[in-house]
Structure 1
Amino acid sequence: MTERRAGSLTQSASTLGIGPSRLHWDWDQGLTIAIDEVGTPIPQRVRGRVHLKPHFINEQVFTLDDAGRHRWRPVAPSARVEVELQKPELRWSGHAYFDRNWGDEPIEDGFVYWDWSRGELGEQESAILYNMDRRHGGQKQLALRFSPQGVEAFEPPPNHRLPRTPIWQVPRGSQADAERPPKVAKTLEDTPFYSRSVIDTHLLGRPLTAVHESLSLNRFRSPIVQHMLPYRMPRRRR
């Protein structure tokens, strides 16, 4: 939540600390995140605890580009989360998801755009869709079904256009069953290059609610957006 210098980093086999915030992994208890930050653009304290308990762990890593520079692993495709914040005073629990992306070059060098969505198919089962427009190698789609029994790929459904975000007009699209186009239920985050939304969709012959994101890397790499980033994510010199 805050960009910091290398001296603010502490790391061990089970813990990652960046400034005053910590992530700790325990195989029995799951992932615990202790947050102690100051938000922007209006400074306010963000302090509390997030606990994520996976239903199962996925070990498979997916390569997103032909050169193998960009990789993605949905560590916990299905999980439960408990959020307890003191500042602001908020508390809730529900379904959760935990993944990681990493690469050997800046993400904007590998991709023009992508959209992604995840929906619960059951208490311990979920479907994840990736639709990528790559700078080299053209488009790539992933349609994956995760359960404690493993990962199952299925035929990617057709891609449907969604309305652009209301403020920054970020393009959005999502794959869904052919005759059942998805609809935006709520826009959660609307930035110059990224959106996060809740969509009502239809997948594998059943209706479901999914979390959706779209990412425009052409917008992200523009000088204007790069100049704006420190106002969205604080940067500390120590």
Structure 2
Amino acid sequence: MTPLDGLDFGRPVAPGGYAWWYMDALSDDGLHGITVIAFLGSVFSPWYALARRRGLLADPLNHAAVNVALYGTKRRWAMTERPRRAVQRDAQHLSIGPSSLEWDGTALMIRINEVAAPIPSRLRGTLRVLPAALNRRAFHLDPRGCHRWSPLAAVARVEVELERPALRWSGAAYFDTNEGDAPLERDFVEWDWCRAPGPDGTAILYEALRRDGSRRCLALQTSPSGEVAEVPAPEPVALPPTRIWRMPRRTRSESEARLAGTLEDTPFYARSVLSTRLLGMERMAVHESLSLDRFRMPIVQAMLPFRVPRARR
């Protein structure tokens, strides 16, 4: 496999816009999980939101971060925002501070060296993501094409080797990318997303409520060979809100969906594990819900710096 446009870490990012690369995985034994997101123009940054509110042509590379969330018996969460001088990148490599992502033509190597928050502790190690295939197809999330998403490697494996905390496991993984020319909160109210692997590939749901009241609903079937096909979307299914912040959650399923666990419960974002039925098969799914109205509330913006500190270099 060779580098693709969607995996070009060096591509331009519009002022006030964003690009991010997202990987999540669950271990084969079901005991562990990890999510890594590399942001240029961090969409959840209070510092970037402040720069945009001041009417500046905010530089997305001045608001870069690697978010790492480790789940299971050794939970950790890290997201330190860094300035432009901490970013190094080209088509196949992206470094943000001491952490990096590098594509070698066969695998994506993620090197993590972060400090967890709010209680400081070291989070360090490597992840080797092995896609079954890479997909070239991208989807517009709004009518003007300002926001774009591509499920680059919906079928993949990951090998996790962490030094701090000491942990080794492997499991099914997923890797995608989003990019946009404007802030998410300008054009979207909320969205729900999930990916559900299976022996036939991965089922993906992506549903966004836009500011104009319209919806973008995608239901996809992705094969191990990299093909991506749109399929009819199942009916909406209600999920219980999160326990602490009462964050609303919704999905679509061919039968009742059951909440298997909540990984993240925040004022504006929830990540969960679901037992659901998609493409005629019972599957375990990683699910997320995002409320951008909640994100831009002043009280939420005031809380965010405690979880997203900003480094000077």
Note whether the superposition's TM-score is higher than 0.5. yes
Contact 1:108 1:218 in 2 (8 A): yes
Choose which of 204, 207, 218 in structure 1 pairs with 2:293.
218
1:226 Cα shift? 1.2
Q: Which residue pairs with 1:46 in the alignment? A: 123
Provide the rounded CA distance (Å) in 1 between the counterparts of 2:226 and 2:101: 28
Provide the rounded CA distance (Å) in 1 between the counterparts of 2:308 and 2:132: 31
- Tell me the number of residue pairs that the alignment of Structure 1 and Structure 2 aligns: 234
Secondary structure at the counterpart of residue 7 of structure 1: helix
| Aligned: 1:166 with 2:275 | no
| Aligned: 1:12 with 2:87 | no
Secondary structure at the counterpart of residue 228 of structure 1: helix
Contact 1:194 1:215 in 2 (8 A): yes
1:209 Cα shift? 0.8
Q: Would you identify which runs of 4 or more consecutive aligned residues in structure 1 move more than 2 Å?
A: none
Letter in 1 for 2:128: H
Provide the rounded CA distance (Å) in 2 between the counterparts of 1:149 and 1:169: 37
Q: State the identity %.
A: 52
Letter in 2 for 1:20: P
Q: Which residue pairs with 1:195 in the alignment? A: 270
1:234 Cα shift? 2.3
Choose which of 151, 157, 163 in structure 2 pairs with 1:74.
151
Contact 1:65 1:137 in 2 (8 A): no
1:233 Cα shift? 2.0
List alignment gaps of at least 5 residues for structure 1. none
| Aligned: 1:186 with 2:261 | yes
1:137 Cα shift? 5.3
Contact 2:134 2:226 in 1 (8 A): no
Secondary structure at the counterpart of residue 238 of structure 2: strand
1:25 Cα shift? 0.6
Choose which of 189, 211, 221 in structure 2 pairs with 1:135.
211
Q: Which residue pairs with 2:135 in the alignment? A: 58
1:149 Cα shift? 5.6
Letter in 2 for 1:199: L
List alignment gaps of at least 5 residues for structure 2. 1-78
Letter in 2 for 1:108: E
Provide the rounded CA distance (Å) in 1 between the counterparts of 2:158 and 2:236: 30
Q: Which residue pairs with 1:111 in the alignment? A: 188
Letter in 2 for 1:114: W
Secondary structure at the counterpart of residue 156 of structure 1: coil
Provide the rounded CA distance (Å) in 2 between the counterparts of 1:151 and 1:11: 28
| CA deviation map 1:189-229 (0-9, x unaligned) | 11111111100001122211111000001001111111111
Letter in 2 for 1:3: E
Counterparts in 2 of 1:237 and 1:149: CA distance versus 1, 3 Å: closer
Choose which of 216, 223, 228 in structure 1 pairs with 2:303.
228
Provide the rounded CA distance (Å) in 1 between the counterparts of 2:226 and 2:260: 31
1:121 Cα shift? 2.4
Contact 2:195 2:285 in 1 (8 A): yes
Q: Which residue pairs with 2:40 in the alignment? A: none
| CA deviation map 1:35-59 (0-9, x unaligned) | 1111100011111101100000010
Provide the rounded CA distance (Å) in 2 between the counterparts of 1:203 and 1:89: 35
Secondary structure at the counterpart of residue 132 of structure 1: strand
Provide the rounded CA distance (Å) in 2 between the counterparts of 1:136 and 1:32: 40
| Aligned: 1:33 with 2:88 | no
Letter in 2 for 1:213: E
Provide the rounded CA distance (Å) in 1 between the counterparts of 2:216 and 2:299: 29
Provide the rounded CA distance (Å) in 2 between the counterparts of 1:229 and 1:149: 37
| CA deviation map 1:117-157 (0-9, x unaligned) | 111121x6111001111112511210000111611111111
Provide the rounded CA distance (Å) in 2 between the counterparts of 1:206 and 1:125: 11
Provide the rounded CA distance (Å) in 2 between the counterparts of 1:102 and 1:34: 22
Provide the rounded CA distance (Å) in 2 between the counterparts of 1:15 and 1:199: 33
